[in-house]
A and B are shown apart, each in its own frame.
Chain A
Amino acid sequence: MADTTTLDQASCEQMTMETLRNFPEGRNIWTCIQCGLCAGTCPYGEHMDYPPRRIIGLLREGMLDEIYKSDSMLYCVACYACKAKCPRGIDLTGILLPLMKEQVLINHPELPAELQKALENMLRYGNPMGESPRKRAAWVKTSPVPVRILSEDPTPTDVLWFVECYTSFYPRGQENCRATAKIFNRLGTDFAILGNEEKCAGECGRLSWETGLFTTLMEYNMQIFAKYKFNRIVTSCTHAYDAFRYRYPVLGFAYELEHTTPYFARHLDKLKPLMTKKLNYKVTYHDSCCLSRHNGYYDGPRTILESLPGVKLVEMTHNHVNSICCGGGGGGMWLDTYYKTKGFERLSERRIKEAIATGADVLAVSCPYEISRFEDALKVVGGDNKMIVRDVAELIAEAIE
């Protein structure tokens, strides 16, 4: 893994070829053989003036201004596809493209209004939708089982469940919360949440241009973690998982860490006797970029789904490492209007057509962005009577009677 402190120290400085060479990943771009696999695999590559291969080409020629003036970086949804395919192992998604995005923001600070608002909201309210931070734990009142909030009862807990924004605030996302709480409860897990003290982990802040915002959120959450005693952090959000795993260690994050899907997969033997309700679904699974492509986690969710009574698992054309991004990462979550005005198909629509083509009744997901993205996409392509979208946790909870 690259030296992350170097990257963060460079924040806000004017990037030149000299400073670029100070980064391991900066030096790494001179090993690029310009094969173009990155551009070919990039889901929005065809719409970019400068897909990743050309970005590297321009960087090597010192033509940074060309990148700053184009809107190519707005099309990067941080899906890790280019990184996964790079034969030279250049960390485009984790290091190079966020660095370029940050430089674009500093040198040409004009953002589409939707993204600007989301970033401002993350800073001020700790969530991108601009909801009141005092309502972050409001969903707890609707939970089928008791959920302990650490600020109210700070006794040590085994699992600190980091719920995250779309699961806490988005009404449909809260289904995931209620399901997760129910599963923890049936497993006999000792768990608690931070409640209103929790703020967005900030991963999409970092990948969508804003390292300063990300650092602010990271410092805040680390202070809150230090207040309580717990054995591990389990998060519902694949983006928070990525932030904790790859970025928070800069500030000393060394907690045991899991995403809810792998956590449930690890407890599958205990879950199996509980999952008795026959679901009778044909399910296809969408590999999330963070959990799957970035962290190589492919089998767990599939094993869970195949263990559900009456579930038949089918695969989409693009699966595992070739999965197509829902378009929500790296700030894409707040650029749908921008993409629409440019007149091209949103990635969630491209992906949902693949899902419908499998003939499945259910699209299973592991990332909280995907519920809203794919449910919207189903309506856009007229498929909302053919398919439903469910988080893996929701399907487990449904099978537990």
Chain B
Amino acid sequence: MKILVILRMVPDVIEELEVASDGKSLDSEFLRLIINESDNHALEQALLLKERHGGTVTALALDGPEIDDVLFTALAKGVDRAVKITGVEKGLTTRRVASVLAQSLPAVANVLPADMILTGCQAIDDLDGQVAPLLTQALKLPYLGLVTKVNVNPPAARASVVREFSGGVRGEFDVPMPVVLGIQAAEKPPRYVPVAKVRAVMKSARIEAVAAPGAPQAPAVDIVEMKKPEAAGRAKMIEGSPEDVAAKICDILAERGLL
């Protein structure tokens, strides 16, 4: 089994997000990036599959702040190779990320063809979950998103995949490999890796840097304006002693037939 995991960085919402002076991007002064949560689940699922079936897992990400920490952590968790694509401009839109990835993957030695490409099914800056399908289209592979379970039959080169639908409905799919999967949740929460292991890996392992090839394509979709949500002013603050506040809340709930 040869598995490729694609990891993306998203804004860490622990800091309040501000719009930059250009009015169409995030202010990067205090912005910190963090690994996309569902990509972290994709990594966990890849490691679980490797434990079950053997093979290799490569973690790949676009270069950026703190990406080395993320890739070293992936190595410490059990990934065999870590690759970062360098020379990529900041603040790419969904389509551009997919296109840079599609252009770059063939330039990385021994990554394609992979039996399985795993990535998160969505991200806070890609709520429609477009990166993986767009990449899949460029690679001409089948795609399934919102995946919560993956079972592989390596000799048959097929995978049985559980995908979630709304309303608690689940579908089980039988797909040929290679395949791209957008992981919603791994079978178990992402594992913890002792920091001592990460520190040891930082000394012993290496992150491969591969330059993104070719001229960047013109974006098909551009951001016109970015705005903070406008406060609607509908919240009503209830004041008084805790007893008064509790009594008023009870009245409001009773008034609306909620008690």
Which residues of A pack against B, CB within 8 Å? 11-12, 102, 105-106, 109-111, 113, 116, 119-120, 123-125, 130-132, 134, 209-213, 215-216
Complex Cα distance, B189 from A358, in Å, reads 45
Closest 4 CB pairs of A and B: A212-B196, A212-B195, A12-B196, A213-B195
Q: Are A123 and B195 in contact (CB under 8 A)?
A: yes
Q: Are B15 and A134 in contact (CB under 8 A)?
A: yes
Could you give, for residues 185-209 of chain B, a 1 whenever the CB lies within 8 Å of some chain A CB and a 0 otherwise?
Answer: 0000101111111111000000000
With a cutoff of 8 Å between Cβ atoms, the chain B residues found around residue A212 in the complex are 194-199
Complex Cα distance, B200 from A130, in Å, reads 25
Shortest distance from the beta carbon of B56 to any chain A beta carbon, whole Å: 21
Shortest distance from the beta carbon of B38 to any chain A beta carbon, whole Å: 17
Complex Cα distance, B15 from A42, in Å, reads 41
Known: A132-B14, A132-B15. A210 touches B30 (CB 8 A): no
Q: Are B194 and A209 in contact (CB under 8 A)?
A: yes
Which residues of B pack against A, CB within 8 Å? 14-15, 30, 34, 189, 191-200
Q: Are A109 and B191 in contact (CB under 8 A)?
A: yes
Q: Are B197 and A12 in contact (CB under 8 A)?
A: yes
The majority secondary structure among interface residues of chain A is: helix
Complex Cα distance, B196 from A216, in Å, reads 9
Which of B34, B189, B195, B200 touches A210 (beta carbons < 8 Å)?
B195
Nearest residue, chain B, Cβ from A122: B195
Give 9 A-B contacts (CB < 8 Å), ordered by A residue: A12-B196, A102-B194, A102-B196, A110-B192, A132-B14, A132-B15, A134-B30, A215-B199, A216-B199
Nearest residue, chain A, Cβ from B200: A12
Which of B30, B34, B196 touches A11 (beta carbons < 8 Å)?
B196
Complex Cα distance, B195 from A102, in Å, reads 11
- Specify which of B189, B195, B199 lies most central, judged by the most chain A CB atoms within 10 Å of its CB: B195
With a cutoff of 8 Å between Cβ atoms, the chain A residues found around residue B34 in the complex are 124
Complex Cα distance, B198 from A215, in Å, reads 12
With a cutoff of 8 Å between Cβ atoms, the chain A residues found around residue B199 in the complex are 12, 212, 215-216
Nearest residue, chain B, Cβ from A219: B199
Known: A130-B14, A132-B15, A134-B30. A109 touches B193 (CB 8 A): yes
Complex Cα distance, B194 from A109, in Å, reads 8
Complex Cα distance, B197 from A215, in Å, reads 12
Nearest residue, chain A, Cβ from B66: A124
Shortest distance from the beta carbon of A12 to any chain B beta carbon, whole Å: 4
Which of A119, A130, A211 touches B192 (beta carbons < 8 Å)?
A119
